[in-house]
Homo-oligomer: A and B are copies of this chain.
Amino acid sequence: MKRVAIFGLGLIGGSLALALRDKGLAERIVGVEASEENALKALELGLVDEVVEMEEAIEGAGGEPRADLIVLATPVDVTPVLAVKVLNKVTAGQTVMDMGSIKEELCEVIEQHPARGRFVATHPMWGTENSGPEAAVHGAFAGRTAVICDREKSDADALATVEAMYEALGAKLVYMTAAEQDLHTAYVSHISHITSFALALTVLEKEREEEHIFDLAGGGFESTVRLAKSSPATWLPIFTGNKYNVLDVLREHIHQLQIIRRLLERDDHEGLAAAMKKANTIKRILP
């Protein structure tokens, strides 16, 4: 993999650029970035060698060869149409991958594209609450799971290119369908973000009247509310794009909170203790 083009130089695209450089996996990295401000920042931070237009990123220019790997690290509402436009231009030796949090719509949109085999749909389970090129950090993806969706729809060499890249970054690969990934991700990622947003709103609602909240933000608050700092530009398209799964989980979460509320209202200490002990078994999943 010599030449990499990254579309979207924010938290994910920027961190991938750093990781590829740190591991010596790319000789040259060009970026495509809709925001001029972010493009300048990305260059300033040395995330990419150059910011170019889409065509040049894919096809090269001035005798430069084509990109070996094209990465879409764009907001999930932008990715499906962008994926089609990119696939319209790629040739046999090129691999395209995305890194978005949802997959069903994307995979549906590219389903019948003649170059579908060149595309590998991926979701690395990594992120922070920060966004933009300044949010890019070294060491991202290492030790995390990277999901590859509908692998049988990717050409063997394209799949191998992406698998080798994630493995070189220290990620563990997991395979599932686009539909499965969207369901599971609603449980392990999207609901955590919604909970954090709601928790922040709960505290802000009260903070109008009260002042001491500032000083007291220890005691578990930071970790649960951290995700509420996340960018609406990233997360609104995720929630709306995964609407039915997110609503399903959100309804169950509200239901569980209502059960706890009722146990507390009724002074059912035994019931509360049993619920907490059951919740403790999450240690099985997260040791």
A: residues with CB less than 8 A from B are 101, 124-127, 144-145, 147, 172, 174, 176, 180, 183-185, 187-189, 191-207, 210, 212-232, 235-236, 239-240, 243, 246-247, 249-254, 256-261, 264-265, 267, 269, 272-273, 275-283, 285-286
Say whether, besides A200-B279, A272-B239, A273-B232, A260 and B194 are in contact (CB < 8 Å).
Answer: yes
| Cβ of A263 to closest chain B Cβ, rounded Å | 9
Inside 8 A of A214's CB, which chain B residues have their CB?
A: 285
Chain B CB within 10 A, most for which of A212, A249, A260: A212
A278 contacts which of B192, B201, B235 (Cβ < 8 Å)? B201
Q: Are A202 and B249 in contact (CB under 8 A)?
A: yes
Residues of B contacting A125 in the complex (Cβ-Cβ under 8 angstroms): 216-219
Report yes or no: B189 in contact with A282, Cβ–Cβ below 8 A.
no
List, in ascending order, chain B residues with CB within 8 A of A224's CB: 192, 195-196, 223-224, 227
**CB distance B264 to A216 under 8 Å?**
no
Q: Which of B147, B176, B231, B278 contacts A204 (CB 8 A)?
A: B278
B197 close to A279 (CB less than 8 A):
yes
A220 and B186 CA atoms in complex are apart in Å by: 11
Nearest CB on B from A139, distance (A) = 14
Are A253 and B257 in contact, with the CB atoms below 8 A?
yes
CB atoms of A213 and B188 under 8 A apart: yes
| A278 CB to nearest B CB, Å | 6
Q: Could you name 13 residue pairs across A and B whose Cβ atoms are closer than 8 Å?
A: A145-B216, A188-B219, A188-B221, A189-B216, A192-B223, A192-B225, A198-B279, A206-B249, A214-B285, A229-B280, A232-B276, A235-B276, A240-B269
* The one of B101, B273, B283 that contacts A236, using a Cβ cutoff of 8 Å: B273
Q: How far is the CA of A239 from the CA of B252 in the complex (A)?
A: 22
Contacts of A222 in B (CB 8 A): 286
A220 in contact with B227 (CB, 8 Å): yes
Bound state CA distance, A199 and B196, in angstroms? 11
Which chain B positions have C-beta within 8 A of A279?
196-198, 200-201, 204, 228
Sample of 16 more A-B contacts, CB < 8 Å, known A222-B286, A236-B269: A147-B216, A176-B212, A180-B212, A184-B216, A187-B203, A187-B213, A188-B218, A189-B221, A198-B256, A202-B252, A204-B282, A221-B286, A225-B282, A232-B272, A236-B276, A250-B260
> Which of the residues B145, B185, B282 comes within 8 Å of A200, measured between beta carbons?
B282
